[in-house]
């Protein structure tokens, strides 16, 4: 079997959010698709270990925010590489609250869907939630992010909890040598670019970064980086 055929499947990139037991959270997912048009239903695959999984089961509601191409990597890192058990993600992002207390990420998104769970399908490590769309809107004309764009242009990878995780994706995302790559998320530190968002000027060598500098995508420590 040539399993690399799986990599030719196209996806978008979304933030799936839910509320339950007094908490709200959201997480990145690429596995969203429309199932039927009447009624309007969609499916999303969520890892059973993710915090959002429990919130969806508890409430029976979730939202899908469609990320745009210009979504910054720190935002993707916050929702994609950190757990809602450790960080209050929505304290760091612009959102609004839909009926049922469901949070909807607003920033860097071009639209959203609000869904009520109709059915769950147990698939080994993941649950596929089938949701009826109860509300939806578009925010503008910005282009949605595709999973291919995320990998090729944004140099992003998938965490181990993602259904589309690839063992060697970090190498794929770091074709140049002489750089440092985050072993957790695949972000590549390029000294020519630096990390201006966190006060690191272009031209700063990786070795010269402060000891408490963290990966701008997943917030892993400097010790998790390896030379490419
Ligand atoms: Fe990282």
CA 174 to chain CA centroid, nearest Å? 19
Taking only the tens place, the pLDDT of each residue in 138-197 is 998 999 999 988 888 777 778 888 888 877 654 455 455 579 998 888 888 999 999 988
Q: What is the pLDDT of residue 178?
A: 72
Give residue 69 CA to ligand 1 midpoint distance, Å.
20
Residue carrying structure tokens 């939202």: 63
Q: Tell me phi and psi for residue 123, to 5 degrees.
A: -130, 80
pLDDT at 227 over 50: yes
Give residue 217 CA to ligand 1 midpoint distance, Å.
5
Give residue 170 CA to ligand 1 midpoint distance, Å.
10
- Residue 136: is it exposed, middle or buried by C-beta count within 10 angstroms (0-12/13-18/19+)? middle
Taking only the tens place, the pLDDT of each residue in 4-36 is 899 899 999 999 999 998 899 999 999 999 999
Give residue 181 CA to ligand 1 midpoint distance, Å.
8
Give residue 21 CA to ligand 1 midpoint distance, Å.
30
Taking only the tens place, the pLDDT of each residue in 153-170 is 777 778 888 888 877 654
In angstroms, the CA 189 to CA 174 distance is: 10
- Residue 150: is it exposed, middle or buried by C-beta count within 10 angstroms (0-12/13-18/19+)? buried
Nearest 5°: the CA angle 131, 159, 228 is 155
Residue carrying structure tokens 């995508």: 217
Nearest to 47 by CA among 58, 31, 65, 63: 31
Q: What is the mean pLDDT of the chain?
A: 91
Taking only the tens place, the pLDDT of each residue in 60-78 is 999 999 999 999 888 999 9
Give residue 220 CA to ligand 1 midpoint distance, Å.
5
Give residue 145 CA to ligand 1 midpoint distance, Å.
20
Q: What is the pTM of this model?
A: 0.84
Q: Which of 31-35, 101-105, 131-135, 183-187 has the lowest mean pLDDT?
A: 183-187
Which protein residues have a CB closer than 5 Å to ligand 1 (ion)?
182, 184-185, 187, 215, 217-218, 220
Q: What is the pLDDT of residue 136?
A: 98
How much of the chain, in percent, has pLDDT values that exceed 70? 95
In angstroms, the CA 65 to CA 54 distance is: 19
Give residue 78 CA to ligand 1 midpoint distance, Å.
10
160 Cβ contact partners less than 8 Å away, ≥ 6 residues apart: none
Omega before residue 39 within 30° of 0, cis: yes
Give residue 185 CA to ligand 1 midpoint distance, Å.
4
């Amino acid at each position: 079997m040539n399993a690399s055929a799986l990599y030719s499947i196209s996806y978008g990139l979304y933030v799936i959010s839910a509320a339950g037991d007094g908490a709200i959270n959201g997480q990145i997912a690429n596995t969203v698709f429309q199932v039927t048009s009447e009624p309007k239903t969609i499916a999303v695959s969520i890892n059973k270990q993710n915090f959002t999984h429990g919130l969806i089961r508890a409430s029976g509601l979730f939202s899908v925010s469609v990320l745009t191409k210009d979504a910054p990597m720190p935002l993707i890192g916050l929702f994609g590489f950190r757990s809602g058990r450790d960080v209050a993600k929505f304290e760091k992002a612009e959102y609004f609250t839909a009926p049922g207390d469901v949070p909807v990420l607003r920033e860097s998104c071009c639209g959203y869907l609000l869904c009520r769970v109709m059915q769950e399908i147990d698939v080994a490590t993941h649950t596929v939630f089938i949701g009826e769309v109860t509300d939806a809107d578009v925010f503008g004309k910005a282009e949605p992010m595709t999973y291919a764009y995320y990998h090729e242009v944004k140099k992003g990878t998938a965490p181990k909890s993602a259904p589309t995780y690839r063992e060697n994706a970090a190498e794929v995302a770091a074709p140049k040598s002489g750089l440092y790559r985050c072993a957790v998320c695949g972000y590549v530190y390029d000294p020519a670019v630096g990390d201006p968002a966190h006060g690191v000027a272009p031209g700063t060598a990786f070795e010269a970064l402060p000891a408490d500098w963290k990966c701008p995508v997943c917030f892993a420590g400097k010790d998790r980086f390896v030379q490419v």
